[in-house]
């Protein structure tokens, strides 16, 4: 009898975590390494949010929370959806979990039966297919193209849907490409979904507040109210409030689905940390001024990185609408030889050689299901980004 579960064989380690660890190891050996592989803002949690958590501790809010979340947070989430997305949800239709990741995991665990298919447009956040696999479902990737800014085309969606399709996971703005769907683009996708009433939509809106220029964020249940009854709208405080370590994510959707997720969570964690939930109440209800500051900084960095990467030989970098990632193609570098003598056959070779020769850590696109590309996170200072991009230019310039 094997000790480890068969389910483990269906899970791959996270390429982003592997790359971040490699960069850390090299740094520990004294190498000068710039890590562009992390998926978290370099900003600190705003002070008023920290103070709310400290006040909660002082009030003795240190006991088990209700499984689905403290009433004050569920109320704040319902208000947020109304205020920012024009969506009507009762607090009973909301759920709080330990990070956005657990929201998705619970939704899949509560709904997937063996053989159920989940459509995932590629490139995708590395965790989606792994979570689907762990929950016994079948992840079905739907490739997108750089010419379409990595956005799912309605006809490709239509072709991918089968009688077994239970969910589609939409993520806008996207990790890893930064691409975000306009209202018209979402409407075109919604039109296809309207023809297939068995398909539910899990929309991961984690990067909602990180969009740039005059881009206007919309979410699918807002664009097509007829999909409200089969949409789970997921969001969280991790990215826009610089609260990755507090581990709070949330969602709203039909009450029967939320109840099923609560059922799963009741036997899992008993709910997200009470103190973090009080901090999230302040994040959602309190001043939002920091968002402007974050957005301005990220927009400047995006522009800097896109411009410098496009000046690099062999790289082509589209300008994404949001998040803090860019996803340049390195197709023209494939087949060339690095100064070490190693041939670059894949995007994974590209990022390994880049790390070895120039000490810049990025993540290969094939880990996100679409390559040859690399994902570069620009959640770091302008000075480091500039230096990293110079090194990438030098690396590409030296390929033969």
Ligand X SMILES: Cc1ncc(COP(=O)(O)O)c(C=O)c1O
Rule CB under 6 A: is residue 367 a binding residue for ligand X? no
Q: Is the dihedral of CA 236, 241, 243, 246 positive or negative?
A: negative
Site string for ligand X, 248-267 (x = CB under 6 A): -x------------------
Task: Find where tokens 């411009």 sit.
Answer: 307
Rule CB under 6 A: is residue 144 a binding residue for ligand X? no
Residues linked to residue 363 through DSSP beta bridges, in sequence order: 375
**Among all residues, whose Cβ is closest to ligand X?**
99
Least Å distance, CB 160 to ligand X, is 20
Rule CB under 6 A: is residue 80 a binding residue for ligand X? no
CA–CA distance, 186 with 194 (Å, rounded to integer) = 12
Least Å distance, CB 189 to ligand X, is 17
Q: In 10 A of CB 310, how many CB atoms?
A: 13
Phi-psi domain of 199 (left: phi exceeds 0; alpha: psi -120 through 50; beta: other): beta
Least Å distance, CB 98 to ligand X, is 8
CA–CA distance, 397 with 138 (Å, rounded to integer) = 42
Q: Which of residues 81-120 bind ligand X (CB under 6 A)?
A: 99-101
Q: Toward ligand X, which CB reaches closer, 251 or 396?
A: 251
Q: Toward ligand X, which CB reaches closer, 185 or 205?
A: 205
* Burial label, 303 (beta-carbon count in 10 A; 0-12, 13-18, 19+): middle
Q: Toward ligand X, which CB reaches closer, 19 or 396?
A: 19
Nearest to 305 by CA among 364, 242, 381: 381
Q: Is the dihedral of CA 351, 382, 18, 116 positive or negative?
A: negative
Rule CB under 6 A: is residue 377 a binding residue for ligand X? no
Q: Toward ligand X, which CB reaches closer, 233 or 238?
A: 238
Cβ proximity of 368 and 122 under 8 Å: yes
Rule CB under 6 A: is residue 233 a binding residue for ligand X? no
Least Å distance, CB 101 to ligand X, is 3
Q: Toward ligand X, which CB reaches closer, 22 or 101?
A: 101
Site string for ligand X, 277-306 (x = CB under 6 A): ------------------------------
Site string for ligand X, 24-63 (x = CB under 6 A): ---------------x------------------------
Q: Toward ligand X, which CB reaches closer, 204 or 321?
A: 204
Q: How far is CA 3 from CA 78, 121, 289, 319, 354, in A?
A: 44, 34, 52, 48, 39
CA–CA distance, 236 with 241 (Å, rounded to integer) = 9
Cβ proximity of 108 and 128 under 8 Å: no
Interface region with ligand X, contact rule CB under 6 A, candidates 64-72, 189-197, 236-244, 357-365: 236-244
Q: Toward ligand X, which CB reaches closer, 20 or 312?
A: 20
Nearest to 131 by CA among 111, 158, 159: 111
DSSP states along 173-205:
S-TTT-----HHHHHHHHHHHHT-TT-EEEEE-
Rule CB under 6 A: is residue 123 a binding residue for ligand X? no
Site string for ligand X, 189-228 (x = CB under 6 A): ---------------x-x----------------------
Least Å distance, CB 125 to ligand X, is 4
Binding site for ligand X (CB under 6 A): 39, 99-101, 125, 171, 175, 204, 206, 236, 238, 244, 249
């Amino acid at each position: 009898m094997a000790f480890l579960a068969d389910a483990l064989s269906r899970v791959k380690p996270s390429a982003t975590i592997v790359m971040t660890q490699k960069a850390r190891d090299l740094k520990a050996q004294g190498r000068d390494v710039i890590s562009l592989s992390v998926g978290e803002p370099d900003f600190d949690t705003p002070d008023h949010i920290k103070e709310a958590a400290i006040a909660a501790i002082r009030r003795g809010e240190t006991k088990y929370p209700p499984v689905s979340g403290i009433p004050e947070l569920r109320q704040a989430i319902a208000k947020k959806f109304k205020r920012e997305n024009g969506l009507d949800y009762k607090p009973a239709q909301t759920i709080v979990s330990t990070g956005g990741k657990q929201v998705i995991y619970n939704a899949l665990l509560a709904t997937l039966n063996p053989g159920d298919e989940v459509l995932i447009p590629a490139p995708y956040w590395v965790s989606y297919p792994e979570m689907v696999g762990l929950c016994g479902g079948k992840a079905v990737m739907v490739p997108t193209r750089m010419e379409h800014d990595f956005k799912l085309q309605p006809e490709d969606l239509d072709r991918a849907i089968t009688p077994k399709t239970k969910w589609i996971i939409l993520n806008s703005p996207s990790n890893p490409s930064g691409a975000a769907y306009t209202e018209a683009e979402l409407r075109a996708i919604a039109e296809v979904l309207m023809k297939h009433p068995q398909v539910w939509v899990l929309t991961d809106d984690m990067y909602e507040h990180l969009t740039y220029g005059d881009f206007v964020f919309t979410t699918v249940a807002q664009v097509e109210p007829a999909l409200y009854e089969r949409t789970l709208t997921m969001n969280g405080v991790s990215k826009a409030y610089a609260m990755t370590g507090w581990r709070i994510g949330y969602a709203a959707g039909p009450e029967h689905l939320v109840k099923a997720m609560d059922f799963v969570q009741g036997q899992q964690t008993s709910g997200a940390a009470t103190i973090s939930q009080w901090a999230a109440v302040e994040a959602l209800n309190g001043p939002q001024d920091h968002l402007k500051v974050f957005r301005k900084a990220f927009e400047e960095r995006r522009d800097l990185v896109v411009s410098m990467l496009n000046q690099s030989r062999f790289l082509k970098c589209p300008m994404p609408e949001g998040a803090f990632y860019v996803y340049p193609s390195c197709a023209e570098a494939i087949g060339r030889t690095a100064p070490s003598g190693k041939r670059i056959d894949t995007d994974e070779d590209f990022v390994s050689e880049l790390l070895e020769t120039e000490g810049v850590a990025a993540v290969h696109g094939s880990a996100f299901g679409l390559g040859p590309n690399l994902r570069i996170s620009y959640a770091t200072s302008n000075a480091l980004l500039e230096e990293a991009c110079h090194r990438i230019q030098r690396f590409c310039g030296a390929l033969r």
